[in-house]
Amino acid sequence: MAECIFCKIIKGDIPSAKVYEDDLVYAFLDISPINHGHALVIPKEHHESSATVPEETAGRMFRVASRVGVALKRKYDWDAFNLHLADGTAAGQVVNHVHLHVVPRGVEDGFRWNWRQLKYEDGQMAEIAGELAARVNADLAGK
């Protein structure tokens, strides 16, 4: 996609601090990090949703992201890391090119995910799980 900032980064039209690159994915440091070392792993092909990323590429994204996270922990003494993917603007996706955040974390880094925790009503969890299972199994069977 011509106007996509991540596609421009992959082409070299916009500079980036590259961490890793292969035939399927590109990893680079986020210019507005939550913590220093915060990286993004993106598919080289333009995909706006994780639902359209080929399975091999999605697997590579997660493999590379986990290796980046481990490298951050070992080299820079971080305690842990988060992998975060927002799919769609309602989920917080800002750039419409799938990207997986690798966020290094420390026990006292001061960052907190602002997640709420809801409760299910009686039977609601089983009902939702059953409906989702049917849809996911149907989608995966249709490969």
Residue among 38, 47, 97, 99 flagged as catalytic: 99
**Token pair listed for 128:** 């939702």
CA distance 65 to 72: 11
Is residue 99 annotated as part of the catalytic site, yes or no?
yes
Question: Which residue is listed with tokens 């916009």?
Answer: 14
Q: How many residues does the chain have?
A: 143
As a three-state string, the secondary structure of 4-38 is: CHHHHHHHCCCCCCEEEECCCEEEEECCCCCCCCC
Residues 6-32 as b or e (16 or more Cβ within 10 Å = b): bbebbeeeeebeebeeeebbbbbbbee
Active site residues: 99
